[in-house]
Chain A
């Protein structure tokens, strides 16, 4: 049994492109648990349904059904203190002109805290910033310098402590999950290619170059 912790960004990309069945396909066939924290449920299921956010109700209902069907599983752990610590570490890792750059939010810190607490090392995340913070913090630093036209300083203490939390974590995006599902017969070739673009246009942080590479490898 493998476990994947899902961020709201990937759930949004896959549901808005009508590919929520990827979770059904993979969980049943390959015994994978796709878990979500309560904060994700509240954000993308409860909130759109309770305040009548018409544009997102259909996706929310699809995810609600996936939860009911046991394809998405809600997990909880007492991570409040740890999440706040991770938030503080992430948001004091980079400084510009003597001030810390507040890059992430408590929800994102909570994802990392939960993964750490439950010993889950695969995260499904389309969101770019938190992903880069985990995988390529120096590239993120360079990016911030370009965008802010200023030198960005690194606070080694915070940065190293944050890395300790995320050292064993690996991130995949909806595009990779979709690709391995395709490899196992989830969808036809032409639907697969179209699906990759649909995921990109719906917010999966994948470049055209990467889509071309996946196509070269898979088709």
Chain B
């Protein structure tokens, strides 16, 4: 995980959006392997940072200072992985968004839904993902339903067979 955190820092410093997006996936794999809340938070942070660096308004004036602050905190995170530093980074980003609010849902909320759906697509159950992310099942299902995740896997049981089971309930 440490290697990935170092990559997170350097990708943010160099504004490498693709690399940050890749990290979303790599941290999500860690979540799958270990059910780690920390890995979930890092996946989420990678998503949020990937979004941040695409918005030019965050590289101007006072916001630029906050971006530097985030970079410093990420460097601190590389030296020592702790939840407090993660909290500080999240707080800084939430503050930035609040000052320049444009959406009803903030980046962290959006990211949480997205990563929850990603984990569900990868094979974790809906209940497990909902607990881990704190996102209600309803929201995860609504997001997942609009992706291709249910089309990427071949039918486990033929539709005809399932209909037969359903019809048997009606006495047919």
Q: Does B138 contact A (CB under 8 A)?
A: yes
Q: Is B138 a contact of A210 with CB atoms below 8 Å?
A: no
Report the Cα distance A172→B162, complex, angstroms: 6
Residues in chain A near residue B154, CB distance under 8 A:
139
Q: Is A149 a contact of B128 with CB atoms below 8 Å?
A: no
Q: Known: A99-B33, A147-B32, A200-B150. Is A129-B125 also a contact (CB below 8 A)?
A: yes
Q: Known: A56-B138, A97-B33, A139-B156. Is A105-B165 also a contact (CB below 8 A)?
A: no
Q: Does B124 contact A (CB under 8 A)?
A: yes
Q: For the complex formed, measure the closest distance between the CB of A6 and the CB atoms of chain B, giving whole angstroms.
A: 12
Interface size on B, residues (CB 8 A): 46
Q: Is B126 a contact of A9 with CB atoms below 8 Å?
A: yes
Report the Cα distance A149→B33, complex, angstroms: 11
Q: Is B33 a contact of A129 with CB atoms below 8 Å?
A: no
Report the Cα distance A30→B170, complex, angstroms: 6
Q: Does B144 contact A (CB under 8 A)?
A: yes
Q: Known: A12-B137, A56-B136, A127-B125. Is A204-B166 also a contact (CB below 8 A)?
A: no
Report the Cα distance A56→B137, complex, angstroms: 10
Report the Cα distance A205→B27, complex, angstroms: 25
Q: Does A217 contact B (CB under 8 A)?
A: yes
Residues in chain A near residue B102, CB distance under 8 A:
none
Minimum CB distance partner of A136 in chain B: B156
Contact with B along A7-26 (1 / 0, CB 8 A): 01100110010000000001
Q: Known: A108-B125, A130-B125. Is A148-B150 also a contact (CB below 8 A)?
A: no
Report the Cα distance A209→B22, complex, angstroms: 29
- In A48-81, the 8 Å CB interface with B consists of 48, 53, 55-56, 59
Q: Is B141 a contact of A30 with CB atoms below 8 Å?
A: no
Q: Is B166 a contact of A172 with CB atoms below 8 Å?
A: yes
Report the Cα distance A205→B149, complex, angstroms: 8
Q: Is B127 a contact of A108 with CB atoms below 8 Å?
A: yes
Q: Does A214 contact B (CB under 8 A)?
A: yes
Q: Known: A12-B137, A200-B145. Is A103-B125 also a contact (CB below 8 A)?
A: yes
Minimum CB distance partner of A176 in chain B: B166
Minimum CB distance partner of B118 in chain A: A147
Residues in chain A near residue B162, CB distance under 8 A:
171-173, 176
Q: For the complex formed, measure the closest distance between the CB of A26 and the CB atoms of chain B, giving whole angstroms.
A: 7
Contact with A along B102-131 (1 / 0, CB 8 A): 000000000000000000111111111011
The 7 closest A-B pairs by CB, nearest first: A203-B141, A105-B127, A136-B156, A129-B125, A203-B145, A176-B166, A105-B128
Question: What are 17 of the A-B contact pairs (CB < 8 Å)?
Answer: A2-B169, A30-B169, A32-B169, A56-B136, A99-B34, A105-B128, A122-B169, A129-B120, A129-B124, A132-B153, A136-B157, A200-B145, A201-B146, A205-B150, A207-B151, A214-B159, A217-B159
Known: A12-B137, A128-B150. 11 other contacts (CB 8 A): A96-B32, A101-B123, A103-B125, A105-B128, A139-B156, A144-B123, A147-B32, A180-B167, A180-B169, A184-B170, A200-B145
